[in-house]
Amino acid sequence: MSSLQQNWSPPDHVLDLVVQNIDEKKDVLAFSMVQQSWRQAALRKIYDRFVISVPPHLFEKRRSYLRSLESFFATARIGSYVAELVIKMKILQDDEEAAAQPILESSAASISSVRTTSFRPTSPKGLVQMLRSLRRNSSASNEDLAGVPVTPNKTTGSSLNIYIAIYILSIINQCPYLRKVTLDFGKERFRMSLNSDYLFRTMLRNEIGASTIKDLTLVDLPKLYLPHDSMADWIASLGELETFTASKVPSNFFTPGFQRAMAKSAAPIKTMVLRDITLWNNEDDLEPNLWFPPTLQSLRLENCSQLLTSYPILVTVASSCPELRELYLPVVQENQSRFIKRSNSMNSGTKLPGPPRSNLEHGLYKILQRCQELQILDLAGNTGISDAVLMSIATHGDNLKQLHLDECRGVTGRNLEWRSSYHLEMMSMSGCHAIEPRFLATIRDFCPQAEIWA
């Protein structure tokens, strides 16, 4: 056998496809022993998604742990294999003593206006007062931090507190092909820490991720993590962002300042996923007001019944997103049962989960009327909707291809005929026990190619 035959290897995309179907770590390691090109494919699988976290038993020594991790990235050069980076934000939390200090004593001359507070509110009213006080007192801007060094001064005591952020920055800088970032806050009850603020401001100043990151996810953001100006400014700087996901985030995260910054950056966001959004107090400037980019093509609002109840979100979507093609509004059964219990405790006459008809159905009518490119509509689990939604679909849903109405028990189709959506390919209505067979027959006659699940 010639040397050429011995050294031959399949193309990289074939190796990647093969190794993606290997689940056991020992098998991946065995795969990497075959050839150098096979080893590269194995490394791409192992380090494709990297989580920056600290084991609980080493949390007190997290600075040393992260220094070792940063050194490993530098020596092994694995950063080029990382496409998704998950940062457990708890490791950026300062000690109580550090949190009570001003931001960077070494730059006290340029940030002398920043004040901090050490109290923690014990009631929603106290929290609102604290947020307003922080907004009045916090006047540090990007220009104020222009003189902050990227490398902390070892002779300054408080600057040692930002070493954690420095190590994380170094790791991020070693990932040239980074495409997705997940910030997992873990619902920790702490404020914007010294490390967190320095991390976001430095990434903003150095344009880290501005032209590479296309997918951003926020998970379990606590209400006390405010004000978040530095984080919002960095998110707005991601000029190539295409997918934005927020799970278990308070609705007041989308502040007017954040919305203005995102509108100015004009990031081409095409997909947005909002899951389990917590409703914030409807008080003055803290009234919930979500933001939707005009370039949005796919929107998923999962388990947001409480938010949809209090605010006509779909009307905002209809006026802001003319290019919308996919709309998902599913309600999981587990969340339905919790909503029923909460509603029954507040009002014995409220039994149906989901938004009231006046908000949800009117919003859907506006979307079907204005978003002419809508092709997928998922309303599974919204038991509060009625035949008014079917009437809106029959009137304006000309381009619908998929319609999901599972467990929509208020839908009957009585006295309705399907005279729209020529392109309908699939319709799912499992759990709709009150649906009229005659209505289903009109759909089959009008769209013979459609698959109907009822």
Q: What token pair was written down for 129?
A: 């007062």
User: Which residues are CB-contacts of 422 (< 8 A; sequence separation ≥ 6)?
Assistant: 398, 446, 447
Tell me the sheet residues that pair with 75: none
> In the prediction, which pLDDT does 408 show?
87
Q: For residue 439, give the 3-state DSSP assignment.
A: helix
* H or E stretch at 140: none
- Is residue 328 a contact partner of residue 378, using CB atoms and an 8 Å limit? yes
Residue (of 411, 413, 418, 414) closest to 432 by Cα position? 411
Spatial neighbors of 449 by CB under 8 A, at least 6 apart, are 424, 425
pLDDT score for 183: 93
Q: How far apart are the first and last CA of the chain?
A: 62
Q: What are phi and psi of 299, to 5 degrees?
A: -130, 130
Of 443, 445, 371, 433, nearest in space to 408 by CA: 433
Kindly report the pTM of this predicted structure.
0.76
Contact 317, 289 (CB under 8 A): no
In this predicted structure, which of 55-64, 198-207, 328-337, 400-409 has the lowest mean pLDDT? 328-337
The answer to whether residues 416 and 390 touch, using CB atoms and an 8 Å cutoff, is yes
CA-nearest of 298, 315, 431, 301 to 368 is 315
DSSP H helical ranges for 219-304: 229-236, 256-265
Q: What is the mean pLDDT of the chain?
A: 75
Question: What's the pLDDT tens digit per position in 319-346?
Answer: 999 999 999 999 875 444 444 344 333 3
pLDDT value at residue 237? 92
pLDDT (tens digit, 9 = 90+) per residue, 118-159?
Answer: 344 444 444 445 445 544 444 433 343 333 434 444 434 344
Three-state secondary-structure class, residue 174: coil
Query: In terms of Cα–Cα distance, which of 406, 388, 415 is closest to 453?
Result: 406
The alpha carbon torsion through 9, 11, 12, 14 (nearest 10 deg) reads -100
